[in-house]
Structure 1
Amino acid sequence: MIVCPNCNHQNPDGAVQCEACYTPLPATMACPNCGATVQADASFCGQCGFDLRSLASTPAAATPAESGIPPVAVDIPELVPPEPLVAPEPVAFDPKATVPSHPILSYPDLEESTPAAKPVVAATPPAPASTSASGTAGLRTQLQQQTVRLLHVQTNTIVELPQGLSVIHIGKPNDRIPPDLDVSGFPNSEIVSRIHADIRIEGDAYYIEDVGSSNGTYINNLPLSIGNRHRLRPGDRIALGKGDKVSFLFQLS
């Protein structure tokens, strides 16, 4: 039996930890005199009283040289040195030698069908570029001549949007952001905020967005949420405020 050093519980031989308190148990050994199980660090056997300390002073086994046993001679064969590696022969470089080139394949049928292909590409005159430039200039002129306007529905009044602005502010006079499109002269303009909506121009596209008005902005009778924007198309109905009292039709001409 192995007695637990923590709780004095008697555990069976060979146990690693205590069954009662799970404390690791000390290592055990057999008494060389009587064979009883004793702790490995014990000084005396609990059964026969054998002095276990004498085991620690037992001299170690003598080496073959100390014991007088002659060493056994082992024949080690001589190693044969390997043959030296054969050095590769140097390659002589002839600077006059030329690298053979691959023959250029020719296609007579293709050359006959397009005999002037290379001269035309090499001698392309700058006329097409000038023609393209003139076409672009004409397109720009056409876009510049395009007029964007708003038709006030209640009074049938046409209001042309200012030219050369990327952002057009819609509202009424104020000290923060003066309006580019003043609607204070239209009927029922009291429902329009001083800073009501913006029209943004990006290329040939026009977008409208509400910038925090009190009564909202409506596109085709649908409310436009703050932070969202709507791309305007000809015929879109823009209502500033509730009740469709201040409304405009977006037109291009």
Structure 2
Amino acid sequence: MSICPSGHTSQAEDYCDTCGLPIPPGGAPAGGAPAAAGPDEAASGAPSGPSAGSAAGASSGASAGDAAGSPADAATCPNCDAVNPPNALFCEACGYDFTTGSMPRPVTPSILDLDALLSGATPPAPADTGSSPAPSAPSAPSAPVASPSVAPPLTEAWVAEVWIDPDWYAEAESDDPLPSAGVPTVVALRSTSILVGRASRSRGISPDIDLSNDNGISRRHCQLTTDGRRWWVEDLGSSNGTYLGTTLGSLPSTPVPAGEKRELGPDARLYLGAWTRIVIRRAQPGEV
């Protein structure tokens, strides 16, 4: 059994079981007290009598002073000036490490601090760990909104007759079933630039002449333009082409070159898709 410099009785011979201070070789206190116990101490396991208590107290005080220097230096924290017990390993007030001299780690408030949330304070940002933040779940794309036409409005009333033409269907040799042919669909033309094609919400395409029932029509098939008196057609790179014919003669076999404007004559007919025929004319009184 040994006595450490702080006066604790330790079963270990190298470090104190109570405070962890090193015990000098031979088990003697740092003040020079003998390690061997007297007859009374061997019998009882501890010093007996007033003189033994006084000697232990004196040796304890002397050893504590020798181990830590002056009492003021050992008890006062250099970080927060708090008074600590002699030979303390850490400051009880701020956590300063007396052994290594390490400063206490700053405390970061939790982002779940209820007081901060209730007071309306902004939670602290998490520390930068150097890693990229986890990608957020992709949000569903919003449906595109078709922008209104910026072309000038027509000063006179024009319409487009949209026909289902069985002859053009036979010429196109489409695999789609031919709808019942009947009277044409009359579409009022409102501006000087008319888009012909098939509607697509995902691409934001809203044609002025919507031919979505004909699968042979491209989304942006062709463009009709006018100066108020004459009309022109321009193919926009459609898959099946735009054909310009007349009321006389056979069906056209050569498409209008993409990007080239062709003027529509008084008896012009446009053929496109699997069965669509379009005729542009002035509106009848009361038709639009």
Point out the structure with max Rg over C-alpha. 1
User: Which band: TM-score by shorter chain?
Assistant: 0.3 to 0.5
Q: Provide the TM-score with structure 2 as the length reference.
A: 0.33
Which one scores higher on RCO, CA 8 angstroms, separation ≥ 6?
2
